[in-house]
């Protein structure tokens, strides 16, 4: 896609270079969405690759993922063997239904910042208690959960000039058993509903995305029927209708997927 309104490209080297960003600046990470359609409101692209943020940092607290880390790098890296939840990295990426060529360019942060219901990295953040680090335009930092970051379809708490810097996955969730279920109208269709589960002691942490307008995270006793009931109790207004599913269908299948996730994590215990 030729972005005919773009007059210049800036390559920032440090945070000070980002201080003047505004509503006519397009923050470029991978660019797979930005370059896919006209951007009539933009006059300048700001290429975050120049910041040279580390893709992945593993330490005792968990995993920090730079916002410019590609999806391919995230899913193919080596991690500590006790982090069994890293299986979700690939599972969520495949739910995006993008080709390997897109994985090589699309970034973790870019997918999150779009704020779309079927955002694969949004689903991953909901599953693993991710903490997002935002660099605000005024020079302050803000940390939040994905349920606070995405507020509606294609709407986040980012304001003009703000940048998502990193995503941190704590070591405890990374070390816990996980399960994922998704459903679509067609075998190769965009996710109509996606549910993740993580067994945390006597509870299941349930992440509900794709079918809802924003990510939903629930903590429920690890009993399949109670997990199904919790998912079924999500308010109907949270679900949305588009070409990939009606709100009523999404609400119904989400409850069933939640039960299946719980059954897998509990070994079928009632």
Residue 78: C-alpha distances to residues 87, 89, 143 (Å) = 11, 12, 26
Per-chain mean pLDDT for the chain: 93
Pairing of strands 44-47, 8-10: parallel
Helices and strands counted in the chain (H then E): 9, 14
Is the pLDDT score of 28 beyond 90?
no
The DSSP letter of residue 68 is T
% of the chain beyond a pLDDT of 90: 77
Question: What would the mean pLDDT of 202-226 be, rounded to a whole number?
Answer: 97
Q: pLDDT per residue over 121-180, tens digit each?
A: 999 999 999 999 999 999 999 999 999 999 999 999 999 999 999 999 999 999 999 999
Percent of the chain with pLDDT strictly greater than 70? 96
- pLDDT category at 99 given cuts 50, 70, 90 is low
- Do 211 and 171 form a contact (C-beta atoms < 8 A)? no
Bigger pLDDT: 253 vs 101? 253
pLDDT above 80 (res 88): yes
User: What is the number of alpha carbons within 13 Å of residue 159 lying toward its C-beta?
Assistant: 9
- How confident is the model over 41-45, as a mean pLDDT? 89
Average pLDDT for 204-226: 97
Q: How much is the average pLDDT of 228-245?
A: 96
Q: What is the mean pLDDT of residues 33-44?
A: 85
In this predicted structure, what is the pLDDT of residue 36?
82
270, pLDDT greater than 60 = no
Q: What is the pLDDT of residue 7?
A: 85
Q: Is the pLDDT of residue 269 over 90?
A: no
Res. 119: pLDDT tops 80: yes
Q: What is the mean pLDDT of residues 10-26?
A: 90
pLDDT of residue 6: 85
| Closest listed residue to residue 177, CA positions, set 109, 85, 106 | 85
What the block records as the tokens of 261 is: 């996730």
């Amino acid at each position: 896609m030729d972005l005919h309104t773009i007059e210049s490209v800036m390559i920032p080297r440090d945070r000070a270079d980002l201080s003047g960003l505004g509503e006519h600046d397009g923050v470029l990470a991978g660019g797979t969405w930005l370059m896919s359609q006209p951007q009539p409101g933009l006059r300048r692209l700001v290429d975050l690759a120049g910041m040279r943020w580390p893709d992945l940092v593993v330490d005792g607290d968990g995993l920090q993922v730079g916002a410019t880390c590609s999806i391919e790098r995230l899913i193919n890296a080596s991690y500590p063997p006790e982090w069994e939840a890293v299986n979700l990295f690939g599972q969520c990426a495949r739910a995006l239904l993008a080709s390997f060529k897109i994985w090589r360019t699309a970034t973790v942060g870019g997918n999150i910042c779009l704020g779309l219901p079927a955002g694969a990295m949004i689903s991953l953040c909901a599953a693993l208690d991710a903490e997002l680090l935002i660099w605000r335009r005024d020079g302050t930092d803000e940390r939040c959960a994905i349920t606070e970051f995405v507020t509606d379809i294609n709407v986040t708490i980012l304001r003009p000039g703000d940048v998502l810097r990193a995503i941190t996955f704590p070591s405890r969730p990374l070390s816990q058993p996980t399960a994922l279920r998704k459903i679509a109208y067609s075998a190769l269709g965009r996710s109509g509903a996606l549910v993740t589960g993580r067994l945390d002691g006597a509870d299941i942490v349930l992440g509900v995305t794709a079918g809802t307008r924003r990510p939903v995270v629930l903590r429920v006793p690890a009993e399949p029927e109670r997990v199904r009931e919790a998912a079924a109790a999500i308010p109907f207004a949270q679900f949305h209708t588009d070409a990939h599913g009606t709100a009523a269908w999404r609400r119904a299948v989400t409850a069933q997927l939640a039960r299946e996730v719980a059954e897998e994590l509990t070994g079928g215990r009632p």
